[in-house]
Each structure stands twice: as structure tokens, then as C-alpha cells.
């Protein structure tokens, strides 16, 4: 009786496992195989998961589409510059928040949390006006400035978490030996922070690469649009007809995200928890 019960619950568990695997993985697999189907095959009403004939032309169609590669380049530039600048600014500030006076540190972390809460709908208008006053509307520089600000709270939170987890002994030893605080940061703290910095900066890259809302508001001309803007526009116009190329473009745009995320996912969880536990 008991073994029967256990067997039954094991079966149910694996039904759930398979259900989750399908729910999570199937949409992505379907998108990929759609990207390999010919226009003819996509006209028929009875579709199979595996394409009847692999049709790689979808990829050359979407890659030669005016604007896709250009927008991918825009996205890459925006994401890289945002990543570098955010990291450079966040390291000393995250360090200061972690080690500075309690009141200051509390106020800073408080603001970091608040900034995650308030609706974008509320700040987007003044932000738009501020960027407009700087004549940076429809410019990737304006987008970079906004992305740095969007990413900073999270980057600060992560770096702060990593700094807090470093024991202060080393820094004190450095101070006793007469090293300046800049020297301490550079020669003692920085080397220990490297894994955390990599995780934080890659996450910044990922957020900027994926971002849509600010790009939609701040970018107006097609030659400055980022990859998500380009694909969203493509889906709205010809995408319903050119389903194969649409799927191909969507698949290509996901690859960098998946690679970057794969590299950082373990570090990410660690950093979030370090920040949360040692408040």
C-alpha cells in the first residue's frame, strides 16, 4: 500500500516536472523552429514542431533587412558604454555606502529601495523634459545617461553587498601602514571585488540590452533605434506576414542575453543575498 502511494506521488512529481519543462522551454523551442520554416510551410494550417525542410534564408532575410544590424550596433554601443560608466561610478559610491557613516548609509540604501518602487509613469514626463532641455532627445547619448541612472540603484546595491562581505581588517592594516583611502580602495578592496564587479556590470549590460520603455519614449528616428525598438516595429508592420524572419530576429536578439545571463546567474543570486543579509 505504502509503496503504491510513493509510486503514485513520484509519478505526479514527474508529471509536474514535464509540465514545467514544456511551459518554460516549449515557447522558445517553437520560436526557434519557426525561424527555420519556409514561407510556404508557414502558410499551411497544420504545423509541426520540426520544420519539414530547414530554411536558413530567414536569417539572411532578417540580417539584410535595413536597420536590424544597425539597431543591434546601437544597442551594443548603448549597453557597453552604460555598463562601463555605471560600473566606474558605482564602485567608489558602493564602497562609500558600505563603509560610511550609518545615517548616510541608511539614507542611501533607503533611496535605492524607493527608486525601485515609484512608477516610471510618474518620472517619465519630467525625465523626458530634462533630457529635452539637454538637447539629448533622439540621441543615444541621452539614452545612455538615462540607462546609467536606471541601473545605478541596483549596481550600488550589489557593490555595497559585496563590499560589506569583505572583512575590514585588511583595510585597517592598510590604513595603519599609512595608505591613503584611495590607495586602500584601489589596492586592497578592488582586487577582492572583481567577481562582484563582473556580475554587476554584466547585469547592467543585460538590462540596457533588453530595455524597451525609455528607448520608446526617448528615441524617435529609425537610424537611432535600439534592437528591441526595431523588432517591436517590425512585428507591428510586416512581422505578421514575415513570421519566419521575425522569429529569426527574435532568436538572434536573445542569444546575447542568454549568454550574459548564463555567466552571471550564480553570482547574481549570491550578490542579492549578500546585500540583503548584511543590511
Partner 1 sequence: MKSATRLKVQDGTIEKKRKKSSQKMYNRGAWIYALPAFIPLVLFSVVPLAKGIWTAFTDLEAGLYFKPKFIWFDNFRRLLGDSLFWHSFNIGVIWAVSCTVLSLVLGFGLALLLNQKLRFLGLMRVLSLVPWAMPPVIVAIMWSILLNPAVGPIRGIFNFLHLPGGDTNWLADFNTAFPTVVLIGAWVGMPIITVSILAALQGIPQEIIEAAKIDGASAVQRFRYVTLPAVRAITTALVALNIIWNFNSFGLVFVLTAGGPGGKTFMPALFVYNESFKYGNFGYAAAMGVVMMLAVLAMLGVYLRARGRQDKES
Kindly tell me which residue out of 143, 162, 253, 275 binds partner 1, with binding defined by CB under 8 A: 253
Kindly tell me which residue out of 4, 101, 178, 221 binds partner 1, with binding defined by CB under 8 A: 101
Specify the residue, 66 or 101, whose C-beta has the smaller distance to partner 1: 101
**Neighbouring C-beta atoms of residue 210, cutoff 10 Å:** 18
Specify the residue, 25 or 195, whose C-beta has the smaller distance to partner 1: 25
67 lines the binding site for partner 1 (CB under 8 A): no
Residue 97 φ/ψ region, left for φ over 0, alpha for ψ in the -120 to 50 degree band, beta for the rest:
alpha
- 279 Cβ contact partners less than 8 Å away, ≥ 6 residues apart: 109
- Of the ranges 51-59, 65-73, 76-84, 228-236, which one interacts with partner 1 (CB under 8 A)? 228-236
Contact 244, 35 (CB under 8 A): yes
Q: How many whole angstroms separate alpha carbon 90 and alpha carbon 92?
A: 6
User: How many residues make up the chain in this entry?
Assistant: 279
Specify the residue, 64 or 168, whose C-beta has the smaller distance to partner 1: 168
3 lines the binding site for partner 1 (CB under 8 A): no
Smallest gap, in angstroms, from Cβ of residue 191 to partner 1?
17
Nearest to 144 by CA among 223, 66, 70, 205: 205
124 lines the binding site for partner 1 (CB under 8 A): yes
Kindly tell me which residue out of 70, 84, 115, 136 binds partner 1, with binding defined by CB under 8 A: 115
Specify the residue, 201 or 211, whose C-beta has the smaller distance to partner 1: 211
40 lines the binding site for partner 1 (CB under 8 A): no
Map residues 175-214 to x or -, x wherever contact with partner 1 holds by CB under 8 A: x----xxx--x--------------------x--xxxxx-
**Neighbouring C-beta atoms of residue 56, cutoff 10 Å:** 11
Specify the residue, 49 or 194, whose C-beta has the smaller distance to partner 1: 49
Contact 204, 53 (CB under 8 A): no
Smallest gap, in angstroms, from Cβ of residue 195 to partner 1?
18
Contact 77, 88 (CB under 8 A): no
Q: How many whole angstroms separate alpha carbon 171 and alpha carbon 153?
A: 25
47 grid coordinates = 504545423
Smallest gap, in angstroms, from Cβ of residue 119 to partner 1?
5
Smallest gap, in angstroms, from Cβ of residue 273 to partner 1?
6
Residue 187 vs residues 77, 201, 274: alpha-carbon distances, Å: 30, 20, 22
Residues 8-37 that bind partner 1 (CB under 8 A): 13-14, 16-17, 20-21, 23-28, 30-31, 34
Residues 145-174 that bind partner 1 (CB under 8 A): 145-146, 148-149, 152-153, 156, 168-169, 171-172
**Neighbouring C-beta atoms of residue 22, cutoff 10 Å:** 11
Amino acid at each position: 500500500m505504502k509503496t503504491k502511494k510513493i509510486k503514485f506521488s513520484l509519478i505526479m512529481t514527474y508529471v509536474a516536472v514535464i509540465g514545467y519543462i514544456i511551459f518554460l522551454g516549449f515557447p522558445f523551442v517553437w520560436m526557434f523552429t519557426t525561424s527555420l520554416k519556409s514561407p510556404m510551410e508557414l502558410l499551411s494550417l497544420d504545423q509541426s514542431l520540426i520544420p519539414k525542410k530547414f530554411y536558413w534564408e530567414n536569417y539572411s532575410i532578417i540580417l539584410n533587412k535595413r536597420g536590424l544590424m544597425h539597431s543591434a550596433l546601437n544597442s551594443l554601443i548603448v549597453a557597453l558604454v552604460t555598463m562601463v560608466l555605471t560600473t566606474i561610478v558605482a564602485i567608489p559610491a558602493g564602497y562609500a555606502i558600505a563603509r560610511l557613516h550609518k545615517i548616510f548609509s541608511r539614507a542611501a540604501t533607503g533611496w535605492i529601495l524607493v527608486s525601485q518602487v515609484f512608477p516610471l509613469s510618474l518620472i517619465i514626463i519630467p525625465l523626458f523634459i530634462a533630457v529635452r532641455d539637454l538637447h539629448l532627445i533622439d540621441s543615444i547619448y541621452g539614452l545612455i545617461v538615462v540607462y546609467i541612472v536606471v541601473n545605478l540603484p541596483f549596481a550600488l546595491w550589489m557593490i555595497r553587498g559585496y563590499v560589506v562581505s569583505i572583512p575590514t581588517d585588511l583595510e585597517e592594516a592598510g590604513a595603519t601602514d599609512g595608505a591613503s583611502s584611495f590607495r586602500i580602495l584601489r589596492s586592497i578592496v578592488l582586487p577582492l571585488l572583481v567577481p562582484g564587479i563582473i556580475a554587476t556590470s554584466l547585469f547592467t549590460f543585460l538590462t540596457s540590452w533588453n530595455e524597451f520603455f525609455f528607448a520608446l519614449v526617448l528615441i524617435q528616428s529609425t537610424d537611432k533605434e535600439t534592437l528591441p525598438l526595431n523588432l517591436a516595429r517590425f512585428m507591428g508592420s510586416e512581422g505578421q506576414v514575415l513570421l519566419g524572419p521575425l522569429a529569426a530576429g527574435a532568436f538572434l536578439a536573445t542569444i546575447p542575453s542568454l549568454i550574459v545571463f548564463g555567466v552571471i546567474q550564480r553570482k547574481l543570486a549570491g550578490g542579492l543575498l549578500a546585500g540583503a543579509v548584511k543590511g
